[in-house]
Amino acid sequence: MNIQDLVVHVPPHVDGPDHGVKLAFDLAKRQGAYVTALVDEVRLTSFDSPSATSEADERLRQEINERSRHQAQRLSHAVATAAEAAGIRHEVVIEPALSYQEGQVFADYLRVRALGIIGVNGALEGDIRLVVETALFETGRPVLLVPPTSSALGNDRVMVAWDATPASVHAVTAAMPFLRAAREVVVAHVTDDKAFQRGRSGVELCHHLSRHGVQTQFAPVQRGERDVADALLEATRVHDVGLLVMGAYAHSALRRLIFGSATRGMFERSFDVPILMAN
């Protein structure tokens, strides 16, 4: 079954379609999907200072918001023009929001789309990390993180990072359109990490995928002294894959998200392969 629709995050401070948008268009063309390109019009409500109500501050706030509005309109036009040129069924939506609300706005759209796509640049920090966290952990939908090196899914080999958790099960299910289309799927299992469940489920996953017509191989991965994320990223390079599929895990403690080791490691690193995550 193909992906029917997706939403892509359009960062507010770019001049045109970024790598995330370009990959979304490439994927939509392959899958025949409808694309919602969500452009944030970041707004200021007031300044956090004693003089926040002064006329000068109010004029500055209005000027900043007006520039943001014009930038969102220019960006919307550029994205729509690119989508039309690519022959993509699409809509471009401008949503006014405070910077800390970007994640919630994106999540609202993602809950009623099959997939979310977010372009990232290096380790996740600031507003973009908030967007990613909200999308992953508050929607029940998969999210595809796209590094700057990828504007298309250029390789037909996919790796599944399997640890037999519900999150990794959800990730495999969400990734089935990609897995069925792949020439080969590598099921990678970190065998020497106490956080990863042991057993034959990795091999059994290969059998399960083969029943869907997917060519698979099982690849045990040794972590050694490395972080789990480093071991998995090295495996993507060794096996020359164009997409990594993995579960994302977090639990809430004192209103903070506490991430699983692999999830936290990926958030803190630059990576050069798109990563499809699901919770």
DSSP 51-76: TTTSHHHHHHHHHHHHHHHHHHHHHH
CB 10 within 8 A of CB 82: no
Rg of the chain, C-alpha, whole Å = 20
Looking at residue 154, its pLDDT comes to 73
- In degrees and rounded to multiples of 5, residue 226 shows phi and psi of -85, 160
Cα separation, 243 vs 184, in Å, equals 11
Looking at residue 172, its pLDDT comes to 98
Cα separation, 149 vs 23, in Å, equals 11
CA distances from 200 to 162, 179, 232 (A): 11, 20, 19
CB 76 within 8 A of CB 48: no
For 60-168, list the strands marked E by DSSP: 90-98, 115-119, 143-146, 157-161
In degrees, rounded to 5, the angle at the alpha carbon of residue 221 between the alpha carbons of residues 216 and 226 is 150
Cα separation, 27 vs 48, in Å, equals 42
Looking at residue 55, its pLDDT comes to 79
Looking at residue 199, its pLDDT comes to 63
The pLDDT profile of the chain, 279 residues, written as one tens digit per residue, is 799 999 999 998 888 999 999 999 999 999 999 999 999 987 777 655 555 567 777 788 788 888 888 999 999 999 999 999 999 999 999 998 876 789 999 999 999 999 999 999 998 988 999 999 999 999 999 999 999 999 998 768 999 999 999 999 999 999 999 999 999 999 999 987 655 555 678 999 999 999 999 999 999 999 888 899 999 999 999 999 999 999 998 766 434 455 557 888 899 999 999 999 999
- What are the structural domains of the chain? 5-146 (3.40.50.620), 157-278 (3.40.50.620)
- Give the amino acid at 250: A
Looking at residue 238, its pLDDT comes to 97
